[in-house]
Every structure is written in structure tokens, then in C-alpha cells.
Amino acid sequence: MKLKKIMIAFFSAVIAVFLMVVVYTQMDRATKIKSKTVFIAMDTIRSGEKIGEKAIQTTIDISAPVVSPGDVSNLFAKTTIPKGCIITPELVANTVYEDVYTTHIVVKVDPVPLEAFKNAEYIGLLNVETANNQTHTNVFEHLKLVRLYDQAGREAGKTTNEYSSNLVSMVEIATDNSTAKRIKEKEKLGVYYVLIQ
């Protein structure tokens, strides 16, 4: 009987030690997870766009070494930031990220009245490409508008010449180099339509 009590006491002690180790391990993991205040994109933020009200500040529990800027409302996106993404210093800049708009190109477009561009800073281009009885569309968004030209290549709306047209047939845009190359490649395959943003 005494042996039985000793065995029960021994196994109880082993189980108690095991439980203490498990509890200690769980508590150690829990202390490594820390609450951090970060900014999260509430909507997709395009490259070069001011973040403004498109991000929300929240506190999350995370063990990864994530750093978020103190305030993002006056910062600009260096690259497109998807909805729900944590905004980190690598994704933002204090000024409009100049590398985004380094390449200027002129693109022929389906004629659009000059009035349509009244307050436009950025435009999109829609390319309709037809080959082998199939139609493909390509959309290029958030292109910085630089100048507008009529069919004769004159700056639209800027001349008092009686031959000046109020129809825009070409647009000068600024974008990154790779996007500019893709736009010019697709220009050979089909007409571009302007999307006012």
C-alpha cells in the first residue's frame, strides 16, 4: 500500500512538472507577441498617390518586427499598396515619388473634347486590340497628364489660331519607363480611349 502511494505521488509530481513546463512555454510565447500600432490601407493606393484618408490606424498583435510610420496622411505611395496591406516605411515617401513619372510619351487617342480634361491631373488609357477575330483590352491607370494636343500636333486650347481644334487627339503623359514601353507597344495594335480619373 505504501508503495502504491509512493508511485501515485511520483507520477503526480511528474505530471505537475510537465504541466508547469507547458504553461511556462505558452506564457513565454505570449509575451513575445506584442501589440503594435500600424497603418493599414483601407483601399488600394496607387503609385505616386497621396495616402491622405486612405489608411486607418489600428493596433494589432504581431510577433514580426513590423514598423509603421508615425503618420501617413501626408505621405505618398512609392508603389501600389493593396487594400489591407500594412503601410511600412519602404512603401512611402515624403514627396511624390519622382521615379514613378520619369518618362514622358505622346500617345494618339480617339478624339475627346478639350472640356473633358477640365480638372484632370491623371488619366487612364484603354486600348482595344483586335486580332484573329478576338478582342483584347489593356488598361493603364494613374498616368500623369502633361499636355494635350490636337490632330495637327498643336497644344490644344492654347493657340488663338483659327485652325486650332478643341478636340484632343494626342496626350502627353508621364509614367515609369516600363509602363511607357508597354503603352507604345500596344499603340501599334489598336486605338487608345481616354479614361478620365
Q: In the CATH scheme, what architecture does the domain 34-93 have?
A: Alpha-Beta Complex (3.90)
At 33, the pLDDT band (50, 70, 90 cuts) reads low
The answer to whether 87 and 55 have CB atoms below 8 angstroms apart is yes
Residue type, 1: M
Is 0.75 surpassed by the pTM of this model? no
Range scoring the smallest mean pLDDT among 15-29, 42-56, 62-76, 140-154: 62-76
Q: Is the dihedral of CA 157, 162, 164, 165 positive or negative?
A: positive
DSSP letters, 132-186, are TTEEEEEEEEEEEEEEEE-TTSSBTTT---TT--SEEEEEEEEE-HHHHHHHHHH
Residue with cell 508615425: 70
Which residues belong to CATH 3.90.1210.10 in the chain?
A: 34-93
Q: Count CB neighbours of 70 within 10 A.
A: 7
pLDDT tens-digit series, residues 64-87? 566 667 777 778 887 778 888 888
Q: What percent of the chain has pLDDT over 70?
A: 83
Residue among 33, 35, 34, 79 nearest 57 (CA): 35
C-alpha cell at 88: 511600412
pLDDT tens-digit series, residues 154-190? 888 765 555 557 889 999 998 888 888 889 988 887 7
